[in-house]
Every structure is written in structure tokens, then in C-alpha cells.
């Protein structure tokens, strides 16, 4: 899919209810997505319009009149570090004034300059009752409270509603309603005469009722449902036919965000293991046959020894922190350039392909 096509999908998709903590923690996930966020809107001393919650804030770009106080902001979220300086979408903006970007300096890194390009801003009031949408938009209102909500089962984030998992138990799952979604932790999705599939879409969309204590961390919210039960349910009265089924944009393709050794690192110990962390959950069954580790062809071999291009290794995927470990059967050869390739065919849990990736490093002397 081309970049243009992906942009069109995001523009035509319904807005995603979220909060400032999530936007700041996962800018790559929300980049170019339409969102709706609630916070206290105010004009800062430098002229920036900021939407704030209890701990942080986000820049809002809006050309119309804005209210003071609690407001609902609808618009598209931009992470300018993931755009180029010559991006056509930036053509109509004064970069220094609007985004505090020095045109003569280096372009900002991903995640450092973000904004909501608002299409609508309106006064609002805090949610009066606990719903999935209300908790996502205003988590502080219900934090540490036990609530009961109804939503559509979405397995282990099978529909890509949320940027990451809290990893509280092996049975964590997502429920969703209208334009919002939340994790449920410490509760196996089964009851009398039913068990819902965590890793297959056969049960997505089924309505369930769950209870739990609202918790949050790392920009995520979840219901701690320890000691409770799940029950099959029906859509709440306020859910309209227009809201069901819920169609959301595909989540960004998974990509490598960190590795040890790092790219182009030198003097790497010959006994090293490789750790590769991904931005999203990976289907471990798709790793087999798509990982290659070899010495660079033509790389100088010490002491005139024969050229060996491959090395034996084993892999282990750790889903809790989305890390792939590569362990070698024997120490790597000294002073060799090593290439690690993650090729086509590796998929995320929502079946999106991993962006192909190569790591290159050089081993040290014995």
C-alpha cells in the first residue's frame, strides 16, 4: 500500500477516542489518525494553544474561536518528526510560529513535536457515568474505581484498536464500543458454556459485560478484573446502528524500534546474543524461515581461514515486551562484519507485515 493510499484510509475512518497520555506515549500509532480528545484548553504565554490533563499537554492548531476550560477537540494527530520538511501538508503553515520549528535547524526527531490539527473544538462536561468511551476520554474521573461496562469483544487487540498491551496476564483482552476501546486484565474470557477466542477473530464483535477497577500506566488504561466474571450481553441502548459495526483504520505496520547490538556497532563481543524489540505484537509462528544471520561476503577473514558465510542460531520471542532473542550455537568469529536480516513474511498479530529490517555490526578481537 502506498503512503497516499494509507492517508486516504485514515481520512475516511471514524475518529478514535483517546487521551493526552496515550498521544504522548504512542505518537507513532496515532500519527495521521483522526482523534477526539478531552482536556482543559488554554492559550500559553508564547501563543500556543494547549490541551492539558492532570500531568501533560498537547499542542492544538485551530483557526476558529476556542472556549476556555474543559473542551472536546476533534482533529488529526501529527507527529512532525515522522514527516519531511517538504511535506505538502505543511505548505500552508508558518513552521516557527505554529510548531516552534527552526527552519534553519535540524528537523525534529519523531515524538518531539506533535500537534492535533483540529477540525472542531467545543465546550464539554465530564462524563457522568462509566462507559468505555468515558473512561478513555477522561481516565482520571474513574481511576481506581470499580466499574461495570458493556462492550464488543476484540480478542488480544486483534483489530488494532490500541497501541500496546499492559501485559498483566496471559488472558488480557480488548473490549470496544463506538469509537473507544480499553483493555481488560486478569480475567479469562470464558463463562458457563462459552469461551471466547483470544487470538482468532471468530468471536470479535460479541457483546460482553465485565467489571473491574480502572488502572492506567504508560499511556494505557485497563480494567483490573481480578476475581470477577465475564458475561455475554447485548448492545447498550445508546448504541446506534450507525455505530455498529465499528470500522477503524488499520494500525501501523510493526517495525523494529531497538536492538542490541545497535546498528553499525563495532567491537561487539563474540559471545553476544542479539535482542530486537518491535513496536507492536508479533505473530511468533511467522518468524521461522524469515530470519537470516550471516557474515558479510568478502569481509576479511583473519589468519587466512576459509570464508564461512553462515552461522547456526536459535530464536525465542518474548511477547511480554515484544523482544526477539537470537542466540548463537557457538561464539561468533572475531573481526567479522555480521548481517542480521528480518525479511518479508513476518507478521503482526493483526496480520500486518513487519517492515523488513537489517542489523549490521562488527565483532571484536579475541
Question: Does the structure show a pLDDT above 90 at 279?
Answer: no
pLDDT score at 311: 77
Q: What are the pLDDT digits (tens) for 313-363?
A: 999 999 877 899 999 999 999 999 999 999 999 998 878 899 899 999 999
10 Å Cβ neighbour count for 134?
Answer: 20
Q: How far apart are CA 360 and CA 347, in angstroms?
A: 22
pLDDT score at 40: 95
Domain boundaries, the chain: 3-123, 132-243, 256-362
Q: How far apart are CA 315 and CA 295, in angstroms?
A: 18
Domain made up of 256-362: CATH architecture:
Sandwich (2.60)
Q: What are the pLDDT digits (tens) for 47-80?
A: 899 999 998 999 999 988 888 899 999 999 999 9
**The domain 3-123 is classified under which CATH number: 1.10.230.10, 1.20.1070.10, 2.40.50.200, 2.70.70.10?**
2.40.50.200
**Class (C level, CATH) for 132-243:** mainly beta
User: Strand, coil or helix: what is 286?
Assistant: helix
Domains 3-123 and 132-243 fall in the same CATH topology:
yes
Q: How far apart are CA 245 and CA 234, in angstroms?
A: 14
The closest alpha carbon to 230, from 202, 255, 198, 260, belongs to 198
Q: What are the pLDDT digits (tens) for 262-275?
A: 999 999 999 999 99
Using pLDDT thresholds of 50, 70 and 90, give the confidence band for residue 44.
confident
Q: How far apart are CA 177 and CA 152, in angstroms?
A: 6
Amino acid at each position: 500500500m502506498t503512503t497516499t493510499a494509507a492517508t486516504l484510509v485514515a481520512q475516511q475512518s471514524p475518529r478514535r477516542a483517546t487521551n493526552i497520555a496515550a498521544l504522548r506515549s504512542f505518537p507513532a500509532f496515532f500519527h495521521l489518525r483522526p482523534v477526539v480528545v478531552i482536556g482543559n484548553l488554554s492559550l500559553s504565554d508564547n501563543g500556543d494553544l494547549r490541551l492539558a490533563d492532570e500531568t501533560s499537554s498537547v499542542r492544538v492548531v485551530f483557526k476558529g474561536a476556542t472556549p476556555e476550560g474543559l473542551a472536546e477537540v476533534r482533529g488529526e494527530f501529527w507527529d512532525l518528526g515522522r514527516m519531511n520538511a517538504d511535506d505538502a501538508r505543511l505548505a500552508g503553515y508558518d513552521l516557527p510560529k505554529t510548531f516552534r520549528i527552526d527552519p534553519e535547524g535540524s528537523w525534529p526527531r519523531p515524538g518531539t513535536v506533535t500537534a492535533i490539527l483540529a477540525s472542531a473544538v467545543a465546550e464539554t462536561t465530564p462524563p457522568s457515568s462509566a462507559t468505555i468511551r468515558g473512561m478513555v476520554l477522561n481516565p482520571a474521573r474513574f481511576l481506581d474505581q470499580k466499574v461495570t461496562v458493556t462492550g464488543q469483544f476484540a480478542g488480544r487487540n486483534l483489530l488494532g484498536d490500541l497501541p500496546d498491551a499492559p501485559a498483566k496476564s496471559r488472558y488480557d483482552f480488548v473490549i470496544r464500543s463506538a469509537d473507544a476501546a480499553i483493555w481488560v486484565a486478569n480475567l479469562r474470557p470464558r463463562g458457563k458454556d462459552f469461551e471466547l477466542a483470544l487470538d482468532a477473530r471468530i468471536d470479535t464483535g460479541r457483546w460482553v459485560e465485565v467489571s473491574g477497577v480502572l488502572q492506567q500506566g504508560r499511556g494505557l488504561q485497563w480494567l483490573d478484573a481480578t476475581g470477577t466474571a465475564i458475561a455475554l450481553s447485548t448492545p447498550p441502548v445508546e448504541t446506534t446502528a450507525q455505530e455498529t459495526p465499528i470500522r477503524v483504520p488499520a494500525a501501523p505496520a510493526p517495525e523494529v524500534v531497538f536492538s542490541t547490538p545497535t546498528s553499525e556497532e563495532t567491537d561487539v563481543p563474540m559471545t553476544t546474543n542479539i535482542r530486537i524489540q518491535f513496536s507492536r505484537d508479533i505473530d511468533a509462528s511467522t518468524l521461522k524461515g524469515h530470519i537470516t544471520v550471516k557474515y558479510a561476503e568478502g569481509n576479511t577473514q583473519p589468519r587466512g581461514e576459509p570464508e564461512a558465510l553462515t552461522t547456526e542460531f536459535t530464536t525465542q520471542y518474548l511477547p511480554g515486551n515484544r523482544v526477539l532473542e537470537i542466540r548463537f550455537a557457538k561464539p561468533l568469529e572475531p573481526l567479522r562484519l555480521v548481517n542480521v536480516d528480518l525479511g518479508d513474511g513476518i507478521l503482526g498479530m493483526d496480520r500486518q507485515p513487519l517492515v523488513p529490517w537489517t542489523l549490521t555490526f562488527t565483532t571484536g578481537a579475541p
